[in-house]
């Protein structure tokens, strides 16, 4: 582990910062953490994302899985540790706040084709594939006390049904296609894992692609699911979760490093945007997933 930590600390500033905070447990008041965070904020790749997000929301949303969508880049920056009061971030949050539905969820420009029940025209709307992503990013930036975020969260939580969350959308989008019925929350994901050979609900099949190591967290894969489920102490002894963790751990090399098995092409400029060698960016994330 000492060798792995040293390797991570030699990586990009954002990897070094998160390694000190999350793996070494150093407080934000520590001088080394301060230095690492300053270096992260000055990093050209991080600054590039902040500048890009100032033009929120970017492209019209046609596919929620697109790794280039600004909502995914927002959550990536928030996960790195950027805050609402960091330089340039206030411009991003101000743009997001310009479009909040009356019910609470923040809206994105969308164009849903008529074949999916939409109008085929561009409009500001929300869907349950994007509204929680944007809300999560804002919360991670430190805006959890904002009343507009509380309103959004309360509305989204209110959509829950006995069998989980439906594929709900804002009224502007009409009657859009619903997703297959699944169980709610953690039990849903774990039961799908246990029955992955026989249960293949729409877009949530835990097959070979699901098992590939991939960063950053954009869609539905083993690392993203583990990042969520390992937050809960009451799940740590669940044999299904342990099986997922063991599969993840088996992918490490002798030094505890991980090599991406799949990539998002739009992130090719980052160290995890290649599949040829261990990447510090994803090795850090994978280390958290099996902690």
Q: For 208-234, what is each residue's pLDDT tens digit?
A: 889 999 888 888 889 988 988 887 788
In this structure, what token pair is assigned to residue 76? Answer: 């990536």
Q: How does DSSP classify residue 21?
A: I
Q: Of 105-109, 210-214, 287-291, where does mean pLDDT reach its minimum?
A: 287-291
Pairing of strands 123-125, 108-110: antiparallel
Other CB atoms within 10 A of residue 227 CB: 16
Looking at the DSSP assignment, which residues form a beta bridge with residue 109? 124
Cα radius of gyration (the chain): 19
The structure's pTM equals 0.79
Looking at the DSSP assignment, which residues form a beta bridge with residue 108? 125
In this structure, what token pair is assigned to residue 243? Answer: 């099986």
State how far the Cα of 93 lies from the Cα of 149, in Å rounded to an integer. 11
Other CB atoms within 10 A of residue 69 CB: 21
Shortest CA distance to 235 belongs to which of 197, 271, 178, 189? 189
Above pLDDT 70, what percent of the chain? Answer: 86
Shortest CA distance to 268 belongs to which of 68, 11, 51, 8? 68
181 CB-near residues (< 8 Å, 6+ apart)? 163, 164
State how far the Cα of 178 lies from the Cα of 162, in Å rounded to an integer. 15
State how far the Cα of 236 lies from the Cα of 220, in Å rounded to an integer. 21
Give the residue extent of every domain in the chain: 184-291
State how far the Cα of 17 lies from the Cα of 1, in Å rounded to an integer. 17
Q: Does the structure show a pLDDT above 50 at 25?
A: yes
What length is written for the chain?
Answer: 291
Helices (H), the chain: 2-9, 13-18, 31-42, 44-53, 70-80, 89-97, 131-138, 147-157, 185-194, 222-229, 239-249, 280-289
End-to-end CA distance of the chain: 12
In this structure, what token pair is assigned to residue 79? Answer: 């996960």
Higher pLDDT, 22 or 129: 22
Mean pLDDT, rounded, of the chain: 85
Higher pLDDT, 17 or 189: 17
Question: Which residue is associated with the tokens 């991406």?
Answer: 260
Higher pLDDT, 108 or 285: 108
Q: For 42-79, what is each residue's pLDDT tens digit?
A: 999 999 999 999 999 987 776 667 888 999 999 999 99
204, burial (CB in 10 Å: exposed 0-12, middle 13-18, buried 19+)? middle
């Amino acid at each position: 582990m000492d060798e792995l930590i040293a390797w991570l600390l030699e990586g990009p500033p954002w990897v070094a910062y998160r390694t000190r905070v999350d793996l070494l447990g150093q407080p934000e008041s520590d001088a080394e953490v301060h230095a690492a965070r300053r270096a992260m904020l000055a990093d050209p790749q991080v600054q590039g994302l902040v500048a890009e997000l100032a033009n929120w929301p970017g492209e019209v949303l046609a596919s929620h899985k697109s790794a280039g969508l600004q909502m995914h880049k927002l959550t990536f920056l928030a996960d790195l540790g950027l805050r609402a009061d960091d330089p340039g971030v206030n411009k991003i949050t101000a743009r997001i706040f310009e479009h909040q539905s009356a019910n609470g969820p923040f809206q994105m420009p969308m164009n849903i084709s008529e074949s999916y029940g939409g109008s085929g025209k561009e409009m500001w709307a929300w869907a349950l594939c994007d509204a929680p992503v944007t809300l999560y990013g804002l919360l991670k930036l430190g805006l959890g006390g904002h009343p507009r975020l509380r309103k959004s969260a309360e509305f989204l939580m209110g959509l829950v049904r006995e069998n989980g969350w439906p594929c709900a959308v804002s009224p502007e989008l009409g009657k859009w296609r619903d997703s297959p019925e699944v169980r709610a929350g953690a039990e849903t994901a774990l039961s799908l894992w246990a029955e992955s050979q026989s249960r293949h609900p729409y877009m949530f099949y835990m097959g070979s692609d699901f098992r590939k190591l991939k960063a950053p967290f954009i869609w539905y894969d083993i690392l993203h699911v583990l990042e969520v489920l390992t937050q809960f102490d009451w799940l740590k002894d669940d044999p299904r979760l342990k099986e997922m963790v063991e599969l993840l751990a088996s992918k490490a090399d002798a030094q505890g490093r991980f090599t991406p098995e799949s990539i998002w092409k739009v992130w090719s400029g980052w160290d995890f945007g290649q599949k040829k060698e261990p990447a510090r960016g994803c090795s850090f994330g994978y280390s958290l997933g099996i902690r």
